[in-house]
């Protein structure tokens, strides 16, 4: 059992995260004393509250402790329950505290569900982080099989592969087919394969639509599904002050290396040299993204690229200040890796430049501070990339 970095809020909150990231286990750990728990994955409970959502208010009224925690798992399956939650929070003047978990915000958005008008915080659960895994962390395993808890804790490669097979099948059946999010499951399956192969590349919707064999608008809808079900996210392009023509399209990353490889059909093989570079970049970005959320650093993420080929993998921006990162799956650092970072340093768009690599020691190469990836993740946890303001 790994201890998660996410801390328990003192007031009501939503907890969204992809299936299998450990939301229910975390709630059990933090709120095993909860006075009432509804699990809407159980058909009996779902049908009972579907027939009469007011049962929630009646059961809450019977609780002796008005400060008690009430958990509702997979709340997106029954959005009308949120009206009852809203009323209970208002009538009790936030006496009750609700933990509302879900693996998809899409159904809530589509049904214009009551999101409680700021009366509940919004938290996210991600796969296990390197810092959470601790001494059990093995980079090669993470790049090949990912960081979902059941993948990390599976004892053998065969078990990890079986888990990833089941995960992809479960996602297609439960999240997509049962929720009727797409009309043609076969075309969506092709889309997932194409998207997995394009993970970390600059997004061209027209090319994806051609490869999948569907309309451009359909592909845009498919990407929206991945974003709403939290399996993927956009890294937007950074528009800086330099007088150059920049690429404007975003990149798209899947949330876990193991799931990305399973969707691409590569998870039975060891990553190739070319694949490892993209996987390492995906791993670092997902680590930074999770820690930024859990630690509430408030940073925004971008990438930067010009038509002439200058590129920086990550711009970490908070307020008016920004730093840049070049990420290389190499145990040595070459000065040519600094090219894009040097352009942004000269233009004044970033205050500091970092390299992230698989070497063992911190380096100073020109104006770039090169960090072993373990140290980079530690700094991301602390939010210490920006130098003190002068």
pLDDT, tens digit, for every residue of 24-82? 999 999 998 888 999 998 999 999 999 999 999 999 989 878 788 999 999 988 988 99
Q: How far apart are CA 126 and CA 290, in angstroms?
A: 6
Interval 226-244 mean pLDDT: 82
Is pTM beyond 0.95 here? Answer: no
Residues 6+ apart with CB under 8 A from 210: none
Sign of CA dihedral 221, 224, 230, 234: positive
Residues 6+ apart with CB under 8 A from 135: none
Contact 242, 345 (CB under 8 A): no
Region of residue 117 (phi > 0: left; psi between -120 and 50: alpha; otherwise: beta): left
Instruction: Answer yes or no: is pLDDT of 8 > 90.
Output: yes
Interval 235-247 mean pLDDT: 73
Q: What is the pLDDT of residues 167-224, one digit of tens each?
A: 998 887 777 776 656 777 889 899 999 999 999 999 999 999 999 999 999 999 999 9
125, HSE (Cβ side, Cα atoms, 13 Å): 25
Percentage of the chain lying above the pLDDT 90 cut: 71
* pLDDT (0 to 100) of residue 112: 54
Contact 329, 318 (CB under 8 A): no
What the chain holds in terms of domains, given with CATH numbers, is 13-124 (3.40.50.300), 127-390 (no CATH)
Contact 27, 74 (CB under 8 A): no
Residues 6+ apart with CB under 8 A from 284: 314, 325, 327, 356, 373, 376, 377
Q: How far apart are CA 214 and CA 216, in angstroms?
A: 7
* pLDDT (0 to 100) of residue 243: 52
* pLDDT (0 to 100) of residue 179: 61
Contact 313, 152 (CB under 8 A): no
**Selection from 353, 373, 351 nearest residue 362 by Cα:** 373
Neighbours of 365 (CB within 10 A): 14
DSSP collapsed to 3 states, the chain: CCCCCCCCCCCCEEEECCCCCCHHHHHHHHHCCCCEEEECCCHHHHHHHHHCCCHHHHHHHCCCCCCCEEEEECHHHCCCHHHHHHHHHHHCCCCCEEEEEECCCHHHHHCCCCCHHHCCEEEECCCCCHHHHHHHCCHHHHHHHCCCHHHHHCCCHHHHHHHHHHHHHHHHHHHHHCCCCCCCHHHHHHHHHHHHHCCCCECCHHHHHHHHCCCHHHHHHHHHHHHHCCCEEEECECCCCCCCCECCCCEEEECCHHHHHHHHCCCCCCCCHHHHHHHHHHHHHHHHHHHHHHCCCCCEEEEEEECCCCEEEEEEEECCEEEEEEECCCCCCCHHHHHHHHHHHHHCCCCEEEEEECCCCCEEECCEEEEEHHHHHHHHHHCCCCCCCC
* pLDDT (0 to 100) of residue 345: 95
* pLDDT (0 to 100) of residue 166: 94
Q: Give the pair of three-digit tokens for residue 149.
A: 């808890």
Instruction: Answer yes or no: is pLDDT of 139 > 70.
Output: yes
Provide the terminal-to-terminal Cα distance of the chain, rounded to the nearest Å.
44
Q: What is the pLDDT of residues 152-173, one digit of tens each?
A: 999 999 999 999 999 998 887 7
Instruction: Answer yes or no: is pLDDT of 246 > 70.
Output: no
């Amino acid at each position: 059992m790994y201890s998660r970095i996410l801390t328990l809020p003192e007031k009501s909150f939503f907890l969204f995260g992809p299936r299998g990231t450990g939301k229910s286990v975390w709630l059990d750990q933090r709120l095993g004393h909860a006075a009432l728990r509804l699990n809407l994955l159980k058909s009996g409970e779902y049908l009972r509250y579907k027939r009469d959502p007011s049962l929630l208010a009646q059961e809450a009224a019977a609780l002796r402790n008005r400060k008690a925690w009430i958990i509702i798992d997979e709340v997106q399956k029954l959005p009308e329950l949120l009206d009852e939650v809203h009323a209970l929070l208002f009538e009790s003047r936030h006496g009750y505290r609700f933990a509302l978990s879900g693996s998809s915000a899409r159904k809530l958005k589509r049904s214009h569900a009551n999101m409680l008008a700021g009366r509940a915080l919004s938290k996210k659960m991600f796969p296990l982080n390197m810092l959470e895994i601790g001494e059990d962390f093995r980079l090669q395993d993470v790049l090949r099989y990912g960081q979902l808890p059941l993948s990390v804790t599976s004892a053998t490669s065969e078990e990890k592969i079986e888990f990833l097979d089941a995960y992809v099948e479960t996602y297609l059946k439960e999240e997509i087919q049962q929720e009727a999010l797409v009309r043609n499951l076969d075309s969506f399956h092709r889309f997932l394969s194409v998207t997995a192969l394009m993970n970390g590349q600059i997004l061209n919707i027209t090319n994806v639509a051609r490869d999948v064999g569907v309309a451009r608008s359909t592909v845009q809808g498919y990407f929206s599904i991945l974003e709403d079900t939290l399996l993927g996210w956009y890294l937007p392009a950074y528009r800086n002050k330099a007088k150059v023509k920049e690429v404007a399209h975003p990149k798209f990353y899947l949330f876990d290396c193991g799931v990305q490889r399973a969707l691409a059909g590569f998870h039975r093989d060891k990553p190739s040299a070319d694949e490892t570079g993209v996987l390492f970049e995906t791993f670092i970005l997902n680590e930074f993204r999770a820690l930024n959320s859990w630690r509430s650093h408030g940073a925004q993420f971008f990438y930067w690229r010009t038509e002439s080929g200058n590129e920086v993998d990550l711009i970490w921006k908070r307020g008016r200040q920004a730093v840049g990162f070049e990420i290389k799956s190499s145990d040595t650092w070459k000065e040519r890796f600094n090219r894009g970072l040097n352009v942004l340093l000269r233009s004044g768009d970033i205050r500091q430049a970092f390299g992230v690599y698989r070497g063992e020691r911190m380096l100073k190469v020109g104006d770039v501070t090169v960090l072993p990836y373990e140290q980079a993740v530690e700094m991301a946890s602390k939010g210490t990339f920006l130098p003190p303001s002068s």
